[in-house]
Structure 1
Amino acid sequence: MKRKLSSILVASALAAAAGAAQAQISDGVVKIGVLNDMSGLYADITGPGSLLAAKMAVEDFQKTSKAGLKIEVVSADHQNKPDVGSTIARQWYDADKVDAIFDVPTSSVGLAVSQVTRDKGKAFVNSGSASADLTGKACSPNTVHWLYDTWMLANGTGTAVVKTGGDTWFFLTADYAFGHALERDTSAVVTKNGGKIVGGVRHPLNTQDFSSFLLQAQASKAKVIGLANAGGDTINSIKQAAEFGITKGGQSLAGLLVFLPDVHGLGLDKAQGLMVTETFYWDLNDQTRAWSKRFGAQHGGKMPSMVHAGVYASVLHYLKAVEAGKTDDGTKTIAKMKELPTDDPLFGKGTIRADGRKLHPAYLFQVKKPSESKGPYDYYTLKATIPADQAFRPIDQGDCPLVKK
């Protein structure tokens, strides 16, 4: 009788423990929101591809997880507007029971969503925004900046261009948080390496006509025109620079944020020779190739951008942290993400610092000439690998309040 009673008590205790663990998952569902530009100038870089990447991460996690988590993925288009992004984030957190938001290109939107997430005690893992302020003065205990940032881009592409003789610069800058941060960080790198900034001009986001801006750049006689913009703005500025004969006249273009879909959209005839810094390329190794072919098979044959890869890897690590911590509480899960080493097939092993910066290598590539490419999406030649401990701003230089002095 005592043995039977003991068995019942043990079984009851185990059931209660299991119930308590499951109770830590709000509503019994881990709900992930992919928030990005689904239809505008960044749609090829993020957009539907990021939603696919998140779903692939959930699928792969569930193949190996023993937690039996119920996971849902929702998505929305923030239209590259901070007020729209903030409104969606509040709606998701307050009414739709979303636990974590991913991707969020456009730095002004990323910074706004980071603040809403902090206010609501949820989790935000950003792959799409570039502003290094996300791990600097605007860092948050509820935000991880996964993929790349303006400091990394500036020190990768900017340093390489100056070292090859590009020592006078004129900036063509997108007039919002991302462009300003990229111009600021690249200017610091250029001057540190002995170069000089001779001028700059700022253009509206998603403008179609770069003629007046390019004429000012041409008149500056700078050796390098630094493109502190992204997506459709970068594609249009490079195409129109070719029409004005700027590169034929001896000036060089430095694409400070160029993605694989941008090169695909431009074509190698216009993009050849560009130096670009990325943290992922589909053809880096066997693991990146295998995943990218799976992705491409579900995405109309298009190879992934580094943002797509970042969304996949960050969702995977987030879910591992939820499983390990037995909760989807935002603040606790972000802390657990920092505690656990990262490991995935696209970025390998890594860590997340106290300021929320995810560390992994960055790669300096040069865009191939048409004659060098062996087929679709064979666009890059690897010129240098920047180790993880050198690729991003030192933690003591970002003014993040979370970092102990």
Structure 2
Amino acid sequence: MIQFNRRHLLAAAGGSVLPGMAARAQVPAGAATPIRIGVLADFSGPYRDTSGPTALACARQAVEDLALSTRGIPVEVLQGDHQNKPDAALALARRWIDQDGVDMICEVNNSAIALAVAGLVAEKNKVQVNTGALSAVLTGERCSANTVHWTADTWMLANTVGRATVRNGGDSWFLIVADYAFGHQMERDLTSFIEAAGGKVAGSVRFPFPGTTDFASYVVQAQASRAKVVGLLMAGADMVNCIKQAREFGLARRAKLAGTPMFVTDIHALGLETAQGLLLSEAFYWDLNDRTRGFLGRVRPKVAGNWPNQEHAGTYSGVLHYLKAVADLGAPAARASGLEVVQRMKAMPTDDDCFGPGTLRADGRKIHPSYLFEVKAPGESRGPWDYYRLAGTVPAEDAFRPLGEGRCPLVRL
């Protein structure tokens, strides 16, 4: 546990944990009841690098960065491995809230789990700051007054990558889709944007998630489609394995590969020789500007060589804004009502070193620009993790689904 004086925050240290277990620190006798934040993430499965320990480090960094401006509010950061199993994740989240006094759950990089946790925090009047799951339904018909959606979503990714690729001649697609809530939503959103831009989806195939490592049959089906673009609707180790196998089968010589989503951590795992030329969208890149580079400088010693992607940066940003709202509202009121915390978060402008200024809409959607990146060739890279060339920027007001189109019952236009 890191201890600060009365003007500082308290962040819990936590090492590695067994699946489904939470790591937490002990509060000294007589200390004020802390605000407790649970980082519910993949610490052992295919999304470990895109989520997991680096997301935990970024949550702690937010606590540390806000320490000088908060009002002596103690904070604990807990961690738990959701194992990509909704039942196990929900049981852990419920135990956190009922037994451990957790006030806010963040990261939750699995859409099925995020939807389940949204129901739980609404029932218990706590908060979910979802920084990892991507299904746009979280701010659509399944929106909740106790959940906010940070970072990226399926609509944003489809909007940024789908339209640009079709406009550049990639007008026929085949989709390889992770068979769970995120993949289904991504498939719907991407198909919509491809068709709206004048393209077509020649076919698609879904693979079991989690647990798939052999993508050969799906790659063969993509080859047989003769589509110009193969959309890979997956993430983490699945994305890395599928791209490697696609190149082994020669698919990448016949079609453009589009990763939706894809992260800088995936590029690192693939290597530039394999990943060069890929188009992808992220809302954060460490080398965008002086503020993003400053953030990296602070968190880099704590991430064990796995530099932050947009999901990690979203965890930092979401935790930071949550704590600002807690400090503004007061800890007793924040612990008493998650709904009041979310209302205060929506009333306050957002601003941090990862995303710059932004807003939080009535439907819970965090608004900021999105970026289209092209992966550099090996000879273009100037040093470690120098992987992206900025290919385009979508302004904040255009990056996400319009407020009136999501059918969120919280929206009154």
Verify same fold: TM over 0.5: yes
- Show the counterpart of 2:163: 159
1:181-196 pair list within 5 angstroms: 181-196=185-200
- Show the counterpart of 2:25: none
Higher helix share: 1
How much has 1:27 moved relative to structure 2? Answer: 6.7
- Show the counterpart of 2:68: 63
- Show the counterpart of 1:13: none
Q: Is the 8 A contact 1:293 1:303 kept in 2?
A: no
- Show the counterpart of 1:150: 154
| Structure-2 separation of matches of 1:242 and 1:390 | 34
- Show the counterpart of 1:136: 140
Q: Is residue 2:246 matched to residue 1:241?
A: yes
Gaps of 5+ in 1: 1-25
- Show the counterpart of 2:299: 295
Deviates further, 185-194 or 51-60: 51-60
Q: 2:53 aligns with which of 33, 48, 57?
A: 48
Q: Is the 8 A contact 1:158 1:256 kept in 2?
A: no
| 2:218 counterpart SS class | helix
Q: Is residue 2:80 matched to residue 1:76?
A: yes
| Structure-2 separation of matches of 1:57 and 1:198 | 44
How much has 1:302 moved relative to structure 2? Answer: 2.9
In structure 1, give the amino acid aligned to 2:94: R
Residue deviations 1:100-143 (CA, integer Å, cap 9, x gap): 00100011111111111111110000110000000001100000
Residue deviations 1:205-244 (CA, integer Å, cap 9, x gap): 2411001111111001111111111111111110000000
- Show the counterpart of 1:267: 271
- Show the counterpart of 1:402: 410
| 1:363 counterpart SS class | strand
| Structure-2 separation of matches of 1:243 and 1:292 | 34
Q: 2:325 aligns with which of 321, 324, 336?
A: 321
Q: Is residue 2:401 matched to residue 1:393?
A: yes
| 2:39 counterpart SS class | strand
1:6-405 pair list within 5 angstroms: 28-65=33-70, 67-205=71-209, 206-248=211-253, 250-326=254-330, 327-328=333-334, 329-405=337-413
| Structure-2 separation of matches of 1:197 and 1:316 | 40
In structure 2, give the amino acid aligned to 1:374: R
| Structure-2 separation of matches of 1:137 and 1:274 | 33
Query: Who wins on radius of gyration, i.e. which is larger?
Result: 1
| Structure-1 separation of matches of 2:353 and 2:233 | 30
- Show the counterpart of 1:12: none
Q: Is the 8 A contact 2:54 2:307 kept in 1?
A: no
- Show the counterpart of 1:15: none
In structure 2, give the amino acid aligned to 1:223: K
Q: Is the 8 A contact 2:283 2:310 kept in 1?
A: yes
How much has 1:295 moved relative to structure 2? Answer: 1.4
Residue deviations 1:318-360 (CA, integer Å, cap 9, x gap): 0110111112121100110000011111111111000000000
Q: Is the 8 A contact 1:170 1:224 kept in 2?
A: yes
TM-score, reference length from structure 2: 0.90
Supply the RMSD in Å over aligned alpha carbons: 1.1
* Equivalent pairs, count: 378
Paired-residue identity, %: 52
| Structure-1 separation of matches of 2:173 and 2:354 | 34
| 2:157 counterpart SS class | helix
Segments of 4+ in structure 1 off by > 3 A?
Answer: none
| Structure 1 residues 27 and 88: CA distance shift in structure 2, 3 A | farther
| Structure-2 separation of matches of 1:117 and 1:62 | 26
| Structure-2 separation of matches of 1:272 and 1:152 | 23
How much has 1:307 moved relative to structure 2? Answer: 1.1
In structure 2, give the amino acid aligned to 1:321: A
Q: Is the 8 A contact 2:294 2:353 kept in 1?
A: no
In structure 1, give the amino acid aligned to 2:391: K
| Structure-1 separation of matches of 2:293 and 2:362 | 31
Residue deviations 1:66-125 (CA, integer Å, cap 9, x gap): x11011111100001111111111111111100000100011111111111111110000
| Structure-1 separation of matches of 2:135 and 2:231 | 17
How much has 1:301 moved relative to structure 2? Answer: 3.1
Gaps of 5+ in 2: 1-30
| 1:214 counterpart SS class | helix
| Structure-1 separation of matches of 2:64 and 2:229 | 45
Q: Is the 8 A contact 1:49 1:299 kept in 2?
A: yes
| Structure-1 separation of matches of 2:92 and 2:119 | 13
